[in-house]
Amino acid sequence: MPALKFVRSVWESFRANSGLEPRLLDGLRVTHATPGKVRFELSIQKEHTNRLNILHGGTIASMTDLGGSLAVASRGLFSTGVSTDLSVTYLSSGGKIGDLIRAEVSCDKFGKTMAFTSINFMNERNQLFARGSHTKYIALAWKDPKNITEELKPTEEKKE
């Protein structure tokens, strides 16, 4: 199964089973995935904004959390573990209602117990407005029968 199809299936599982993601991020679209990298986009709606009518920092933090999970999924884990650390640096406003934001997330280190991810958020002018990192405890996620980790190993790892 290609990485994009698998990551989208994990995203659909979040949408079907989570309390937060389908309420806040339902319009998020996964646009690209390869082993260890995922890109997605979101059109800013009222529910994504703060009282200044600009993108809320909590929305960005939630996308950092979800993005880290999707990056782990891009390595073949269906159950994507639990968060141990999450950090966001806000560089500027991400935009207002109607603007499109894009994110690119990488799974920087993928081990047997921990995964480390990083994410960049870009506005419509392709300017970086926030960046984040997300650490996940994944030891128990390796037991999920829906995993396809062998199939989604990056090519350089397959050669070893």
Q: Helices 3-17 & 57-73, crossing angle to 10 degrees?
A: 130
Instruction: Evaluate whether residue 160 is within a structural domain.
Output: no
The per-residue pLDDT for 155 is 73
Q: Tens digit of pLDDT for each residue in 56-75?
A: 999 999 999 999 999 999 99
Instruction: Evaluate whether residue 70 is within a structural domain.
Output: yes
Instruction: Evaluate whether residue 98 is within a structural domain.
Output: yes
C-alpha–C-alpha distance, residues 117 and 94, integer Å: 21
Residue 15 belongs to domain with CATH number: 3.10.129.10
Instruction: Evaluate whether residue 96 is within a structural domain.
Output: yes
Instruction: Evaluate whether residue 159 is within a structural domain.
Output: no
- Structural domain including 87 reads 3-154
Instruction: State the average pLDDT over residues 79-98.
Output: 97
Domain count within the chain: 1
Amino acid at 71: A
Instruction: Evaluate whether residue 48 is within a structural domain.
Output: yes
